[in-house]
Structure 1
Amino acid sequence: MSQNIFEQGLPKTTANFVALSPLTFIERTASIYPDYPAVVHGNIRRDWATTWERCRRLASALEKRGIQPGQTVAAMLPNIPAMFEAHFGVPLAGCVLNTLNIRLDADAISYMLEHGEAKAVLVDPEFADTIKEAVSKLTHKPLLIDVADVEFLGEIQGIGEIEYEALLDEGDPDYAYQLPEDEWSAISLNYTSGTTGKPKGVVYHHRGAYLNAVSNIMEWAMPHHPNYLWTLPMFHCNGWCFPWTIAANAGTSICLRKVDPKKIMQLIASENVTHFSGAPIILNGMVNLPAEDKHEFDHPVKVTTAGAAPPASVIAGVEKLGIEVTHVYGLTEVYGPVTVCAWREAWDELPLEERAKLKARQGVRYHMLEALCVADPNTLEPVPKDGETIGEILMRGNNVMKGYLKNPAATEQALEGGWYHTGDLAVWHADGYIEIKDRSKDIIISGGENISTIEVENAIYDHPAVEEAAVVAKPDEKWGETPCAFVKLKMGYGEVTEDDIIEHCRERLARFKVPKNVIFTDLPKTSTGKIQKFVLREEARNQ
């Protein structure tokens, strides 16, 4: 077949076709805004010129230490400057960054280091014992690099061959880095939580990281030079790609070792924070602070929240603090958030509670996600946009993972039929917005009727004494399953009983959806603030 006229004499060249990589963002920002603030961490204040130099030094030093392109460099770090720098320095050396979940035990970390074949690990002193134990189980020992964070209050005992700052001194500030020739090249490795088996290694490529970083700016209408507070763990989906986003937008990364609602309030005020992100549990903590720990802000503050669907009451509470909430949704397999509850001006006139309910929807696709639908997972037939028919959320686009490392069967299953299968169940509204009703494994089927645990949780959250709530299925001889609620009460309320919560739900739900049991307790959570329902299901079975 002959070429059409637009394919004749018009080849791709280095002048008109370049592999996309988020590493170009920091080079641009450092050249244009070298003296603008890049990183704030306690008393540390670094500009973009310094940060860019440190990233190149890191890349150069890793190469000098024998780390080869295509090899893995892991990081067991909280939200500190070294973690931010690793998002550029490691891939500048052609390596793949594996940010480890700092809440995991030595066995889990050891599995990830072995599976990902890590050649080096950046280690914060808080997690030195965990890494030491994890590495002791490995046949091939990685290079350990101590990161002596100035904000760490405990005793620093090094376990590595070299400390981070000394490693940077070995590096060349003018390191002749090379961007990837192929944008499909891996930039990072992120492990799933592994609650139903061994964690899966999700591989990101440069193209997807680039596009999702840009999408973050677009969906949030983020202006130049934002002040971004790191309440979201950088180890989680590479901080939803925000290290690269902040570099692209010449913003300031305000680091935070540990999430503390009171400290968040203080930093928003003192550092003029304009943006931050996190799971609903972070917002809930801010809403439930004592009055004396809350601040009134004299500047606009915006937050993106994702994870478990935030109850409308929590969204309303945050907006009463003067913080504008944008609800996004995504998964590790899609670089973090890829849908947004895009706001419409007409909704501004609605009462706060109604606005919050609209914001609790997961919304529409990001600009950089090619396609989004709610469909039958077997036939791939889209469900009606009636707000009632439940299907699985399917996605397609450049910001879907390369796949699972060393697991072709799981990769094929997740990407079956040309779509990424999320495992999340949702309805599709007439206006095109999706709304999650449950995870496929969390839906309760009682007497043949489907019960959305999120719907029941939202009803419970409406009770003024409730701080946190989670609903799971409890086996029942008659109905098969019935809803069982786990509730944490707010401090300072009088006695609230199981009957009180049940009666409250009866006023808001169909009778078959009302919890048959209510257990008052603290709720187990992952390091990213998601409630561990598999733990609660086991507890419900044993009741």
Structure 2
Amino acid sequence: MNGFYEIAKADPDRRAVIDTDGTVTTYGELLALVNQVSHGLRSRGLGVGDVVAGVLRNGIDPVVMLMATGQIGLYYVPINWHLAEPEIDYILKDCDAKVVVRSPEDVAALAEGQPTGDPEERTSGAVMWYTSGTTGFPKGVQRKLTPAPPEDIVPLYVWFLGQVCDLTPGDDVHLVTSPMYHSSPCAHTQFALHLGHTLVLTPRFEPEEILRLVQEYKVTNAMMVPTMFHRMLQLPAEVKASYDVSSLRQVMHTGAACPVAVKQGIMDWWGPVLYEYYGSTESAIAFSVKPLDWLARPGTVGKPAPTFEARILDENGEEVPQGEPGMIYVKTTLGSFEYRKDPAKTASTMRGEWYAPGDIGYFDPDGFLFLCDRRTDLIISGGVNIYPAEIEAALLEHPAVGDVAVIGVPDEEWGHNVVALVQPSAEVTAEELLAHLEPRIARFKHPKVIVFREELPRTPTGKLSRSKVREDYLAAEKSSSPE
């Protein structure tokens, strides 16, 4: 059976989704609802290549939208519901969404009165995630649609996941620990259903609650980010010992570099079950490493995933010697991407067929990749990408801000914290600036620390030198810390 739609017909009583309130939906029930929504979208005039956006919290509704658009050739854009309204409006306008669903009532309205049978002329849809660049303006990562029905392309993904994560079709249980508007949780939700697994949904990440769900539902696989591992390791020893996590076989993680001590601590607790992969929304899973390979080479993010090739190049585009760091480039036969409405931005990330995720790394003698640093400007906090230019632009709208630099400062739990260094042009407090940001950008992007400076360093051409700002800030922090 190739994927969710066929599994649902052959085994309709199989558990598909255990919702955040414990409600169980079978594969047959889920397919009926998915088909109704597919018909509902078509009845509103949507055709192949059109866009549907969802601003939905975790629950069965984003699952339905994902699978409904996935069988009638539509692009589905999941949007972070934490975003401020101007940020959401920007994405909706840029993606040309013809239908926007914001609540369970919206999904129910699409399904109401529609038939539960398959829609005609089924073709594969795709998810179009929005990701920001150095300008801070999000761009849709768009892939070409295929005229084939989803059943025809599912076997490729099943093979790929088996190679990378040892995931196989069967009666496994996948725990969704993160919001489904992020690319990896969304993708793993879809993959789990195509593998015939049961989804266990959570409204938010709570360390002890995750352990409880693993024990109660005998969860076999999950996708997490390193911040979650850190928080779970901080639980009291008696709490950690009180839950049975022996059912876990694959816990995939991505989104940020995982400190070696944290990853080792989790595998000391859960066993060798952590599967890591490295890539981006654009490149998907470009590198991967299984537990035993990582334990033999702590810190690696693995070798190129199946269908991927990789190169490490210097600033002149020449390959660097083994062991020397350079810019990472990858290419794959799985298909290319483009930034929606921005061919110039697409071209700027490519060197011929090779895509640059923007990170620096090196290969060891056995061909395993080690990362040295992320993109200079990018801040990754709790596995979420945060772009300094966007925050700086919002702060500069305040009349008392003369200049500003936003940087990421290393943090043991979050990976990085957002710090804003402000050169004021009039009297202003940190509290006033945070209040100013409230209606403009999402709260998770707000600086955790605001520091006032008399002057910020710039290059001779007038460009803000974030590297110098970061060096000066970290040096000041180090000198002020007790020995």
TM-score, length basis structure 2: 0.73
- Whether 1:46 aligns to 2:3 is no
After superposition, give the CA deviation of every residue in 1:213-255 in whole Å (9 maximum; x if it has no partner): 6422331112322200001332222636223311221001111
Residue 173 of structure 1 aligns with an amino acid whose one-letter code is: T
3-state DSSP of counterpart to 1:83: helix
Post-superposition Cα deviations, 1:411-430, rounded to whole Å, max 9, x if no partner, equal 11222221011111001111
Conserved? CA contact 1:33–1:250, under 8 Å: no
- For the residue of structure 2 that corresponds to 1:109, the secondary structure is helix
Do the aligned partners of residues 489 and 226 (structure 1) sit closer, same or farther apart at CA in structure 2, a change above 3 Å counting? closer
8 Å CA contact 1:334, 1:399 repeated in 2: no
* Aligned partner (choices 15, 23, 45) of residue 66 of structure 1: 45
> Does residue 179 of the first structure (1) align with residue 122 of the second (2)?
yes
Distance 2:449 2:63 in 1: 32
What displacement does 1:108 show?
1.3
Closer, same or farther: CA 195–102 of 1 in aligned 2, 3 Å: farther
Q: Is the contact between residue 173 and residue 218 of structure 2 (CA under 8 Å) also seen in structure 1?
A: yes
In 1, Cα distance between the equivalents of 2:226 and 2:413? 16
Partner of residue 433, structure 2: none
Deviation at 1:212, TM superposition (A): 4.7
Aligned to 1:365: 304
Aligned mate of 2:9, from 31, 47, 56: 31
Is 2:343 the partner of 1:408?
Answer: yes
Give the structure 1 partner of residue 140 of structure 2.
201
Specify the alignment match of 1:275 in structure 2: 221
Is 239-248 or 258-267 further displaced after alignment?
239-248
Aligned partners of 2:183, 2:36: CA distance in 1, in Å? 25
The answer to whether structure 1 residue 328 and structure 2 residue 280 are counterparts is no
Partner residue, 2:79:
100
Does 2:329 match 1:394?
Answer: yes
Preserved contact between residue 76 and residue 99 of structure 1 (Cα < 8 Å): yes
Residue 312 of structure 2 contacts residue 320 of structure 2 at CA under 8 Å; is this kept in 1? Answer: yes
Instruction: Report the secondary structure of 1:257's partner residue.
Output: coil
The alpha-carbon deviation at position 532 of structure 1 amounts to: 8.5
In structure 1, which of residues 307, 316, 320 is the aligned counterpart of residue 264 of structure 2?
316
Q: What is the rounded CA distance, in whole Å, between the counterparts of 1:262 and 1:485 in structure 2?
A: 28
- Deviation of the 1:68 alpha carbon: 3.0
Note the aligned Cα RMSD (angstroms).
3.5
CA shift for structure 1 position 317: 1.5
Alpha-carbon distance in 1 for matches of 2:116, 2:98: 23
1:436 counterpart = 2:371 = yes
- Residue identity in the other structure for 1:165: A
Q: CA deviation at 1:113?
A: 0.1
Secondary structure of the equivalent of 1:423?
A: coil
Aligned to 2:322: 385
| Change in CA separation of 1:76 and 1:362 when aligned onto 2, cut-off 3 Å | same
In the TM superposition, what whole-angstrom CA distance separates every residue of 1:307-339 from its partner, at most 9, and x where no partner exists?
Answer: 21100111011112215211111101023x331
Q: Does 1:423 find its partner at 2:423?
A: no
Task: Quote how far apart the aligned CAs of 1:189 are.
Answer: 1.4
Between the aligned partners of 1:301 and 1:533, the Cα distance in structure 2 is 36
Matched residue of 1:108: which SS?
helix
Say yes or no: does 1:243 pair with 2:189. yes
Q: Does 1:254 align with 2:200?
A: yes
Within 2, Cα distance between the matches of 1:484 and 1:31? 49
Q: Runs (4+) of structure 1 moved beyond 4 Å?
A: 206-214, 483-490, 529-543
Alpha-carbon spacing, 1:296–1:175, altered in 2? closer, same or farther (3 Å): closer
After superposition, the C-alpha distances for 1:364-416 in whole angstroms (9 at most, x for unaligned) are: 1222x33122223542x332223xx1111111114454210000101112222
- The alpha carbon displacement at 1:432 in A equals 0.6
* Structure 2 gap segments, 5+ residues each: 381-387, 389-406, 415-440, 452-465, 477-483
| Counterpart position of 1:375 | 313
> Which of 137, 151, 166 is the equivalent residue of 1:221?
166
Distance 2:312 2:42 in 1: 46
Partner of 1:84: helix, strand, or coil? Answer: helix
Return 5+ residue gaps in structure 1 as ranges.
1-22, 124-145, 149-162, 348-354, 444-452, 455-471, 473-482, 491-525
Seen in structure 2, the aligned counterparts of structure 1 residues 535 and 62 have a Cα distance that, compared at 3 Å, is farther
Deviations along 1:134-154, whole A, 9 cap, x unmatched?
Answer: xxxxxxxxxxxx315xxxxxx
3-state SS in 2 of match to 1:85: helix
- The answer to whether the Cα contact below 8 Å between 1:25 and 1:244 also exists between their aligned partners in 2 is no
Q: Provide the C-alpha distance between the structure 1 equivalents of 2:411 and 2:183, rounded to a whole number of angstroms.
A: 29
Which runs of structure 2 are paired with 1:478-489 in the superposition (5 Å)? 486-487=410-411
CA distance in structure 1 between the partners assigned to 2:250 and 2:447 by the alignment = 27
Q: Does 1:114 align with 2:53?
A: no
The CA distance in 1 between the partners of 2:4 and 2:200, in whole Å, is 17
Structure 2 counterpart of 1:220, one-letter code? C
Given that residues 328 and 361 in structure 2 are in contact (C-alpha distance below 8 angstroms), is that contact kept between their aligned partners in structure 1? Answer: yes
How far did 1:278 drift? Answer: 1.7
* 2:128 matched residue in structure 1: 189
In 1, the alpha carbon distance for the partners of 2:178 and 2:234 equals 19
C-alpha deviations, 1:162-194, integer Å up to 9, x for none?
A: x422432222111323233xx7xx622111134
The residue identity in structure 1 corresponding to 2:182 is H
3-state SS, counterpart of residue 112 of structure 2: helix
Check the 8 A contact 1:227/1:251 in 2, yes or no.
Answer: yes
Whether the 8 Å CA contact 1:383–1:428 is kept in 2: the answer is no
Question: d(CA) in 1 for partners of 2:43 and 2:413?
Answer: 55
Aligned equivalent of 2:245: 297
**Identity over the aligned pairs, expressed in percent?**
23
Structure 2 letter corresponding to 1:216: L
Change (3 A) 1:241 1:532: farther
AA at the equivalent of 1:373: R
Are the equivalent residues in 2 in contact too, given 1:423–1:439 (CA < 8 A)? yes
Q: Cα 1:80–1:357, aligned 2, differ >3 Å: closer, same or farther?
A: farther
Alignment correspondent of 2:434: none
Residues 12-39 of structure 1: CA deviation (Å, up to 9, x unaligned): xxxxxxxxxxx96222211332221111
Rate the CA distance shift 1:48–1:489 in 2: closer, same or farther, 3 A: closer
Change (3 A) 1:539 1:378: closer
CA drift of 1:62 comes to 1.1
Paired residues of 1:62 and 1:93 also in contact (CA < 8 A): no
